Structure 1
């Protein structure tokens, strides 16, 4: 009987980047079909990749299938959030909104995480960092990034996968 968990002899993180690189486009297409929005689909896939890389414990034997399951769950969560936000909007019209400012502890944690992410992004290889910044901060599409950097869309996806995995590992190391 085969195990669904990698053995301790293997380095599951070494192959995760490759699996993410190879599956990124199809996962994004899957998510896009589910949510109907390219930007939301990409965010869901990136979140799924982060969850896979930062998950504690043993890695699944079939990370690609696991990624599909995570994306599917994130799609469900997306629609639940959307429904809850619509309901909350209707309620907020009738009632006085509560103070939604984060408490001091959450604010400190958020600042620490941001500092770790800024440091992690600065440590990325130059082309990888440029690609990541163009996507996450300048909100360019994969096609726009590919054109601007004079690389293929596949190379853009690979750079983004490497950056996502690296940043997730840095966050995990500090938690």
Structure 2
């Protein structure tokens, strides 16, 4: 569970960050109440969409922080609706980032494979390692998730076509794709050498 916010600590942290200068005691009270009553629902909301507990926890924290740093013009008269409006924005941002990371992963793989007509032995080894990593990651996915990902990324089917083909909803197709993209992202990040260092076998 998130650590409860202290009003004084919140005002100090927000002020030091240079955000939320118009936040009031009433706003803080509303946010504290939302944290107490909605945190579990919010975490489940993100878990359904992101399929990863750590990402769901981070997204939950980010949502409450966005409320704290919101412009004083934001309407908190319907705090529950506004909370989940912010949450949807956070989820969209995370999903977009995952898709960018996945595209970068694929681009790097393609560039490694075709950049040179006569690639060096090191580039050949790197390409094989990245291809092996991608295959291993896809193979480790749950069966339905793997099928959806292959149909989407390798066969080029739309989400609607996949939903019809497999007899599942579009929403479920999107969840499977997000889960697969997250797995690719995590595998890619795990394979990167430490900052300032080089990878070793």
TM-score range, shorter chain: 0.3 to 0.5
TM-score for the superposition, normalised by structure 1 = 0.47
TM-score for the superposition, normalised by structure 2 = 0.41
Larger Rg: 2
